[in-house]
């Protein structure tokens, strides 16, 4: 099916563990994004990628690592999870970079991560 | 740096009435776009409407329209004939410098 999918939908992990959230899109969009959504903060950009092997930091990158070896995948890794990283994480993709055109960003269903 | 401010954390409206959600933004970029996204309880993010900054004409999509005041850096969303299905969190977003920056959101409740 065409679209953007995230896995898992829900995850509980322990403090200090490494966890990877997966994101896959089927449109071959150049740009992909990771956001976290927290009450009172809206969506904040963690990392984004303009193409395979090109990534850049967003507003809140500390404690996260990304990679993009293939255009369609953009995994987000929490190297050593902390309780402050408990959040809902959204992956998104768009055909081109924001500001270059009014490209709609398509979002995955989100991953609810709880760090205990 | 680019910022988006939504000053109304929560709003409510009666079914069939009109409601306006406020948004202000700041950017030093000349090329940018503005968006309103809707997030219903399902958590799915859905594009409601978009506005190209270089266009003076306000965008409209059926019952949704915007009031774009470029000099004031204001971008409000008007929902006419509100429906129960419009109940959702609404996010104003600024697209520039390759990325999308969101406001904190306004929770809109449509009452029967």
Note the Cα A83 to chain centre separation in Å: 18
Give pLDDT tens digits for B16-42: 999 999 999 999 888 899 999 999 999
Does residue B57 sit at the A interface (CB-CB below 8 Å)? no
Number of folded domains that form chain B:
1
A76/A65 Cα distance (integer angstroms): 6
* A73 sits in which H/E element: none
Verify whether the Cβ–Cβ distance B104 to A42 is below 8 Å: yes
* CATH number for the domain harbouring residue B78: 2.60.40.10
Residue numbers in B near A42 (CB within 8 A): 6, 91, 102-105
Q: Which residues contact residue A82 at a Cβ distance below 8 angstroms, ignoring those fewer than 6 apart?
A: A15, A63, A115
CA distance B46 to chain A (A): 8
Q: Which CATH number fits domain A4-115: 2.40.30.200, 2.40.50.140, 3.30.930.10, 2.60.40.10?
A: 2.60.40.10
- Cβ density class A85-102: b for 16+ within 10 Å, e for less: bbbbbbbbbbeebbbbeb
pLDDT tens column, A2-43 = 699 999 999 999 999 999 999 999 998 999 999 999 988 899
Is B33 in the A-facing interface, judged by CB distances under 8 Å? yes
Which chain A residues are within 8 Å of B91, Cβ to Cβ? 42-43
Q: Which domain holds residue B21?
A: 3-111
**Residue A44 with chain B: CB contacts under 8 Å:** 102
pLDDT at A97 over 90: no
Contact B96 A98 (CB under 8 A): yes
Look at B99 and A88 and tell me if their CB atoms are within 8 Å. no
């Amino acid at each position: 099916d065409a679209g953007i999918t995230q896995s898992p939908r829900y995850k509980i992990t322990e403090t200090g563990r490494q966890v990877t959230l997966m994101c896959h899109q089927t449109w071959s969009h150049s740009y992909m994004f990771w956001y976290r959504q927290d009450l009172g903060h809206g969506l904040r950009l963690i990392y984004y990628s303009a193409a395979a092997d090109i990534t850049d930091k967003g507003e809140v990158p500390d404690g996260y690592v990304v990679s993009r070896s293939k255009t369609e995948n953009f995994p987000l890794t929490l190297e050593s999870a902390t309780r402050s990283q408990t959040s809902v994480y959204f992956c998104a993709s768009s055909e081109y970079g924001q500001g270059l055109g009014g490209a709609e960003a398509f979002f995955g269903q989100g991953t609810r991560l709880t760090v205990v | 740096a680019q910022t988006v401010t939504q000053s109304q954390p929560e709003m409510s409206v009666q079914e069939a009435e009109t409601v306006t959600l406020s948004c202000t933004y700041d950017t030093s970029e000349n090329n940018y776009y503005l968006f309103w996204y809707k997030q219903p309880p399902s958590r799915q993010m859905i594009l409601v409407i978009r506005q190209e900054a270089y266009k003076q004409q306000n965008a409209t999509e059926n019952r949704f329209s915007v009031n774009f005041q470029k000099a004031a850096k204001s971008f409000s969303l008007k929902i006419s004939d509100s429906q129960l299905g419009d109940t959702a969190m609404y996010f104003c977003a600024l697209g520039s410098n390759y990325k999308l920056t969101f406001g904190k959101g306004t929770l809109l409740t449509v009452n029967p």
